[in-house]
Amino acid sequence: YPIEQLAVNCDFLETCYLLLNGELPNAQEKSEFDSLVMRHNMVHEQLHFFLRGFRRDAHPMAVLTGLVGALSAFYHDSTDVSNPHHRHVSAIRLIAKMPTLVAMAHKYTKGQPYMYPQNDLSYTGNFLRMMFATPCEDYKVNDVVERALDRILILHADHEQNASTSTVRLCGSSGTNPFAAIAAGVACLWGPSHGGANEAALNMLEHLQANGGVAKVGEFMEQVKDKNSSVRLMGFGHRVYKNYDPRAKLMQETTKEVLMALGLENDPLFKLAMELERIALEDQYFVDRKLYPNVDFYSGIVQRAIGIPTSLFTAIFALARTVGWIAQWNEMLSDPDYKIGRPRQLYVGSSRRDVPKMDAR
């Protein structure tokens, strides 16, 4: 299905169902799947104490890597990875608990109480509430924001053999605990060339805005193109998309919708991003190298407008990508020919030699 159609016609949980089952759900299947996921969204109460071991200023991805890995110490009844039912239970648990863990990491940083999930809300509405509500007053989910965040989740749900997915497959190929395999994916996603790009892109825009804004775009672009500078235009370029990242187009539209709905249509960072995109698309350096905006160029602006702190962007990506990781892990383990992964290595060092005694080295 074209991603444009999924993003417009389906919600995130339908996309999850599709990735896990290969087919979109009908109305009854959707309702059963939604309620199954929503009934697994609480985490073991002991995890609250585990979280308290972290420094409050720890990066959310460090916390999330730890929390997801720690799930393997709490759910022992579904870890036989050769059993399809156990794999299904693990998949549902992971999809259901990720929003709770990300919101807990956020609340912990802020020093606010954790909000327990509320099951009469949608998956994304519940996540927003766990993120932004406090026990002191009612919280009303904003429809436009809910839809925008849901769309961000759909756009990030899966993407063939990217670095984190390959990591999950390789890690999972040893037959390790499902939560441990997904924690490896979270760790890999953190890097700025992968999931960390949305955080890096927004930091780049904020830095540029603070240092002259649109007037300094030309100078900044010269640095980006300078081979000796190591500055990259974050949120641009993709290993696979060499024409345009279809997700970026949808993200740009979503950004406009959210900014309008929140009365932020004159957001200077959005204007700056549009200007950078305009200049880059006309610049020979970018044209020659087929560099276009990727999904992360605009997603940071939407998330910032919603009130999500920059340091949490990659954690939201991890939340969304969990279904892709787990679907690929499941596909690998259900293959009767599956074997432990072992990438080949081309050795280019010395030929065989004897170990000399210490005083002869």
- What lies within 8 Å, CB to CB, of 86 at 6+ separation is 78, 79, 80
Torsion of CA 85, 91, 93, 99, to 10 degrees: -170
Contact window for ligand CMC (CB under 6 A) among 34-42, 105-113, 122-130, 230-238: 230-238
**C-beta separation of 155 from 247 below 8 A:** yes
Q: Does 251 bind ligand CMC (CB under 6 A)?
A: no
Residue 57 among the catalytic residues:
no
Q: Does 296 bind ligand CMC (CB under 6 A)?
A: yes
Q: Does 3 bind ligand CMC (CB under 6 A)?
A: no
Contact window for ligand CMC (CB under 6 A) among 11-19, 88-96, 293-301, 353-361: 293-301
Q: Does 125 bind ligand CMC (CB under 6 A)?
A: no
- Write out the E strands in the chain: none
Q: Does 236 bind ligand CMC (CB under 6 A)?
A: yes
Using CB atoms within 10 Å of the CB of residue 71, give its burial: 0 to 12 exposed, 13 to 18 middle, 19+ buried.
Answer: buried
Residue 337 among the catalytic residues:
no
Q: Does 303 bind ligand CMC (CB under 6 A)?
A: no
Q: Cα separation of 161 and 159, whole Å?
A: 7
Q: Does 291 bind ligand CMC (CB under 6 A)?
A: yes
Q: Tokens for 176?
A: 């390790």
Residue 104 or residue 320: which is nearer to ligand CMC going by CB? 320
Q: Does 197 bind ligand CMC (CB under 6 A)?
A: yes
Q: Does 65 bind ligand CMC (CB under 6 A)?
A: no
Determine which residue in the list 3, 141, 153, 233 makes contact with ligand CMC, applying CB under 6 A.
233
Question: Of the residues 34, 156, 238, 245, which is catalytic?
Answer: 238
Task: Provide the minimum distance between the beta carbon of 313 and ligand CMC in the complex, in angstroms, as a whole number.
Answer: 11
Return the H-helix or E-strand segment holding 293.
none
Q: Cα separation of 123 and 48, whole Å?
A: 21
Q: Tokens for 168?
A: 């999950």
Question: Of the residues 48, 296, 335, 359, which is catalytic?
Answer: 296
Q: Tokens for 109?
A: 């940083």
Residue 56 or residue 289: which is nearer to ligand CMC going by CB? 289
Q: Does 220 bind ligand CMC (CB under 6 A)?
A: no
Determine which residue in the list 21, 134, 193, 229 makes contact with ligand CMC, applying CB under 6 A.
193
Q: Cα separation of 214 and 274, whole Å?
A: 10
Contact window for ligand CMC (CB under 6 A) among 81-89, 108-116, 250-258, 291-299: 291-299
Residue 154 C-beta-side C-alpha neighbours within 13 Å: 29
Q: Does 199 bind ligand CMC (CB under 6 A)?
A: no
C-alpha dihedral sign at 51, 53, 58, 61: negative
Determine which residue in the list 25, 60, 125, 235 makes contact with ligand CMC, applying CB under 6 A.
235
**C-beta separation of 232 from 239 below 8 A:** no
Binding mask 162-191 for ligand CMC (x = CB under 6 A): x-----------------------------
Residue 51 C-beta-side C-alpha neighbours within 13 Å: 29
As separate numbers, helices (DSSP H) first and strands (DSSP E) second, the chain gives: 17, 0
Q: Does 161 bind ligand CMC (CB under 6 A)?
A: no
Residue among 65, 58, 64, 317 nearest 198 (CA): 317
Task: Provide the minimum distance between the beta carbon of 183 and ligand CMC in the complex, in angstroms, as a whole number.
Answer: 18
Q: Does 300 bind ligand CMC (CB under 6 A)?
A: no
Catalytic sites, residue numbers: 238, 296
* Contact footprint for ligand CMC (CB under 6 A): 159, 162, 193-195, 197, 224, 232-239, 289, 291, 294-296
